[in-house]
Homo-oligomer: A and B are copies of this chain.
Amino acid sequence: MGDRQLIESHPLGLLARRWSKLASLTPDDCSALLELPFTVKGFGKEAYLVREGQQVNECALLLSGFAYRQKLLRNGSRQILSIHIPTEFVDLQNSVLGLADHSVQSLNGCEVAIIPIRALTELQQARAGIRMAMWIETLIDSSIFREWVVNVGRRDSKARIAHLLCELAIRLKKIGDGREWTFEFPLTQEQLADATGLTPVHTNRTLQALRKDGLIQLTARSLTILDWKGLQEVGDFDELYLHQETQASLGASGSGHS
């Protein structure tokens, strides 16, 4: 039943709450979710959770801190593929396919719940609601990658960075700490550059331009958006692709009730 108490205190509680909205989980689904075996593990700054090419049979749910996925190129440069915030799975994809096609790294340090993929698979086999939640989670992930292709492929530096900031703002708001337009922003300019396909130097100049335009304030690991409308405009940002209001009820169906 509705163990509010448990959901609050349990490490997987935030996941349960998020997925409830995503795929209308039943109370039973939630309890089952909370019974998943897991171990909590901490990672230091820039530590690898998974390396490209590695076999993977467990996946990590981010409890605190930030993490990102990335690929290294032969020439030494790297591309950051996505940035993850607490309550998100950073490694569902790698673990289901069994072989990591990209790396996962902690940003400044993070805490994760490690869950054996086998347990998650079994749970998903047994429960339609959880299955749908995982399914939708993956699809939204995929949609974000598509938008990133557009971002690095067709937008100039100003738009690229503005777009990334918009995306992070929306996503951070959801797990929000109250403040409306100010967020903890742990990315260095170099990391921001690797996420947008730019060089650190040019990223720096572009940030300055965004500041001069009065759109953002970015200092000391903290981002404040001064002009949301303007930033959205510059970044050609339309949040449709984040599918924030997606319910399993749409199209997909099979929403719960195994």
Interface centre among A55, A75, A78, A252 (most CB of B within 10 A): A252
CA distance A55 to B249 in the complex (A): 13
Which residue of B is nearest A78, CB measured? B154
Enumerate A189-246 residues with CB–CB distance to B below 8 Å. 196-197, 236, 240-241, 243, 246
On chain A, the number of residues with a Cβ less than 8 Å from chain B's Cβ atoms is 59
Copies of the chain in the assembly:
2
Give 1 or 0 for each of A177-198: 1 = CB within 8 Å of chain B CB: 0000000000000000000110
Q: Give 23 CB contacts A-B under 8 Å.
A: A53-B240, A55-B251, A71-B150, A79-B149, A79-B150, A79-B153, A97-B139, A97-B140, A97-B252, A98-B250, A99-B250, A101-B143, A101-B241, A117-B251, A118-B253, A121-B253, A135-B135, A135-B138, A138-B138, A145-B145, A145-B149, A152-B152, A153-B197
Which B residues touch A42, using CB under 8 A?
none
Among A138, A140, A145, A146, max chain B CB count under 10 A is at: A146
Residue of B whose beta carbon sits closest to that of A53: B240
B236 near A97: Cβ-Cβ < 8 Å: no
Is A96 an interface position by the 8 A CB rule? yes
> How close is A157's CB to chain B, nearest CB, in angstroms?
12
- A residues touching B (Cβ–Cβ < 8 Å)? 52-53, 55-57, 69, 71, 73-75, 77-79, 81, 93, 95-99, 101-102, 117-118, 121-122, 125, 128, 131, 135-136, 138-143, 145-150, 152-155, 196-197, 236, 240-241, 243, 246, 250-254
Q: Decide if A240 touches B99 in the complex (CB within 8 Å).
A: yes
User: Which B residue's beta carbon lies closest to that of A70?
Assistant: B150
A155 to chain B, nearest CB (A): 7
In the complex, what residues of B have CB within 8 A of residue A139's CB?
93, 96-97, 138
Interface residue from B56, B77, B136, B142 paired with A251 (Cβ < 8 Å): B56
CA distance in complex: A148, B149 (Å):
6
CB pair A97 B197 closer than 8 Å: no
Residues of B within 8 A of A56 (CB): 251
CB-contact partner of A73 in B150, B152, B252, under 8 A:
B150
In the complex, the 10 A-B pairs of residues with the closest C-beta atoms, listed nearest first: A98-B251, A153-B197, A98-B250, A145-B145, A152-B153, A142-B142, A79-B150, A101-B241, A79-B153, A79-B154
